[in-house]
Amino acid sequence: MREFSYRDGSLWAEQVSLQHIAERFGTPTYVYSRAHFERQYLNYAEALGDHPGLICYAVKANSNLGILSLLAQLGAGFDIVSGGELERVLLAGGDPSRVVFSGVGKTANEMRRALEVGVHCFNIESEAEVNRLEQVAADGETVAPISIRVNPDVDAQTHPYISTGLKENKFGIAIDQAVEVYQRAATSKHLNIIGVDCHIGSQLTEVAPFLDALDRLLVLVDQLAELGIQLEHLDLGGGLGVRYRGEEPPPVKDYLAEVHKRIGERKLSLILEPGRSIAANGGALLTQVEYLKRTDEHNFAIVDAAMNDNLRPALYQAWQDIVPVTPNESESTLWDIVGPVCETGDFLGKNRSQSLKEGQLLAMLSTGAYGFTMSSNYNSRCRAAEVLVDGDKTYLVRARETFADLVRGERTVPEKT
């Protein structure tokens, strides 16, 4: 996390101290580093080299308009999974012709809107979806560009909840049925087959599973070419994993060098949909210690951020570093760092060695991806503020929610008559 570092005994994001951000915007607050997002995106774009291709940032990782706009300004493409994400991309100035639309449950309305704005491609996940998209395109007297998401049945060797490329997962079309679905789609004058895609899982720290999937996809690409179905692109889905706690993901350029070697002379452009590796280490969740509570079993530090702000520890038992904004020299003890939500599973970190005081500020690191986007209002908690740091400037890119936001659209009912 190069952009988050200690200076003069305190933690900074780029040229702004987190202490200053907490004083100005309160806690809990997500803090993002613009430089990190830009560097990570450009790392992918540069690794494409002279090969044709498109980096479609996975909006689900962090969909704040500030983040999407800075990526749009760099010419990024976007991978979306809902109509809401599409509208965010458009509002942020993203180019719809660089958007790929993934997801197993696209509604007819979402398809219509995506056709209207001209997305690059629909990543189709089932035969039923082929039929629905064909109908929507026919009704609109247009042609929908499509790719079929195949499920290559490879083990991504990641957490089972974020593994998506095995036969038992709900995603994609089994690779041994893909030819049949392509042939069916090829009969339609309202569908234009342009690609193939897959996504085998997230937080992969080895390239081998990606390359296994690629090898299987290339067999399919060649088979389709023999049948007269020539694809223009191959989309390998999400990006590499990140370092949360000692993981060492390989450099993107090594990964893409292997990919290009395998694609060889085929006239295929490459699409990637990285989310986590662009966003995760560009964010920190700032929180304040409310209470210290010691029991016979445990020391609990109750902080003002909770599972509704960052669900990853509760959902995946994920580890993310929690560090003091201003470290002190006192002796450390083990703490469970927990939130105020009424759930035993509401923790941010367990058995963390810290020297803590009430009122102290902590930063939960590596929370730029799947942090705010997975947050909720559980326990009627207002969602956190989001602040983007750019050098010595700070932008409040999402105001902290208020009680009025919490109850917007709700109403009470009259007394029973």
Ligand X SMILES: Cc1ncc(COP(=O)(O)O)c(C=O)c1O
Ligand Y SMILES: N[C@@H](CCCC[NH3+])C(=O)O
End-to-end Cα distance, the chain? 61
Q: Note whether 312 binds ligand Y by CB under 6 A.
A: yes
388-401 CB burial, b ≥16 within 10 A, e <16: bbbeeebeebbebb
**What's the closest the beta carbon of residue 70 comes to ligand Y, in angstroms?**
21
Q: How far apart are CA 155 and CA 164, in angstroms?
A: 9
Q: Which residues of 192-204 are buried (b: 16+ CB within 10 A; e: fewer)?
A: ebbbbbbbbbbbb
Q: For ligand X, which residue of 14, 85, 129, 273 counts as binding (CB under 6 A)?
A: 273
Question: Does 275 belong to an annotated binding site?
Answer: yes
Q: Kindly state whether residue 58 participates in binding ligand X, applying the rule CB under 6 A.
A: yes
Q: Exactly one of 30, 182, 370, 372 binds ligand Y (CB under 6 A); which one?
A: 370
Query: Which of 202, 354 has the CB closer to ligand Y?
Result: 202
312 is in an annotated binding site: yes
Q: Note whether 199 binds ligand X by CB under 6 A.
A: yes
Q: Is 203 left (phi over 0), alpha (psi -120 to 50) or beta?
A: left
Q: Say which residues have a Cβ less than 8 Å from residue 352's Cβ, sequence separation at least 6.
A: 322, 334, 335, 336, 337
- The contacts of residue 225 (CB under 8 Å, 6+ apart) are 231
Alpha-carbon distance of 135 to 25, in angstroms, equals 49
Catalytic residue ranges: 342
Residue 180 marked as a ligand binder: no
List all residues 6 or more positions away from 344 whose beta carbon is below 8 Å from its beta carbon: none
Member of 239, 339, 349, 368 binding ligand X (CB under 6 A): 239
Joined together, the tokens standing for residue 402 give: 């208020």
Count of residues touching ligand Y (by CB under 6 A): 6
Q: Tokens for 51, please give them.
A: 């090969």
Site track 202-241 with ligand Y (rule: CB under 6 A), x = hit: xx--------------------------------------
The yes or no reply on residue 190 touching ligand X (CB under 6 A) is: no
Interface with ligand Y in residues 162-201 (CB under 6 A): 162
Please return the burial class of 413, using the count of CB atoms within 10 Å of its CB with bins 0-12, 13-18 and 19+: exposed
Distance CA 396, CA 387 (A): 4
Min dist CB 319 to ligand Y, Å, is: 12
288 touches 304 (CB < 8 A): yes
274 touching ligand X, by CB under 6 A: yes
- Residue 312 contacts which entry, ligand X, ligand Y, none (Cβ below 5-8 A, type-dependent): ligand Y
Amino acid at 182: Y
Measured from each CB, the residue nearest to ligand X is: 238
Instruction: Please choose which of ligand X, ligand Y, none residue 152 contacts, taking the beta carbon within 5 to 8 angstroms, the exact cut-off set by kind.
Output: none
- Binding partner at 239 among ligand X, ligand Y, none, C-beta below 5 to 8 Å by kind: ligand X
57 binds ligand Y (CB under 6 A): no
410: annotated binding-site residue?
no
Our finding on whether 238 is near ligand X (CB under 6 A) is yes
Of 166 and 374, nearer to ligand Y (C-beta) is 374
Q: Which is nearer to ligand X, 82 or 202 (CB)?
A: 202
With contacts defined by CB under 6 A, name the span among 4-12, 112-120, 275-283, 337-345 that binds ligand X.
275-283
Shortest Å distance, C-beta 115 to ligand Y? 24
Q: Known binder of ligand: residue 274?
A: yes
Give residues 388-417 in contact with ligand X (rule: CB under 6 A). none
Residue 274 contact, options ligand Y, ligand X, none, Cβ 5-8 Å cut-off depending on partner type: ligand X
Q: Work out how close the CB of 202 gets to ligand X at its nearest, in angstroms, rounded to a whole number.
A: 3
Q: Does the footprint of ligand X cover residue 371 (CB under 6 A)?
A: no
Neighbouring-strand partners of residue 293: 300
**Distance from C-alpha of 365 to C-alpha of 321, rounded to nearest angstrom:** 5
The pair of three-digit structure tokens given for residue 414, joined into one six-digit string: 């009259």
171 vs 335, beta carbon nearer ligand X: 171
In angstroms, give the least distance from the CB of 58 to ligand Y. 8
Handedness of CA 138, 140, 143, 146 (dihedral sign): negative
What residues have CB less than 8 Å from 73, skipping those under 6 apart?
93
How many residues sit in the footprint of ligand X (CB under 6 A)?
15
Tokens describing residue 205: 């720290």
If binding is defined by CB under 6 A, does position 347 make contact with ligand Y?
A: no
Annotated binding site: 239, 273-276, 312, 316, 343, 370
Q: Given the rule CB under 6 A, which residues bind ligand X?
A: 58, 61, 79, 102, 164, 199, 202, 237-239, 273-277
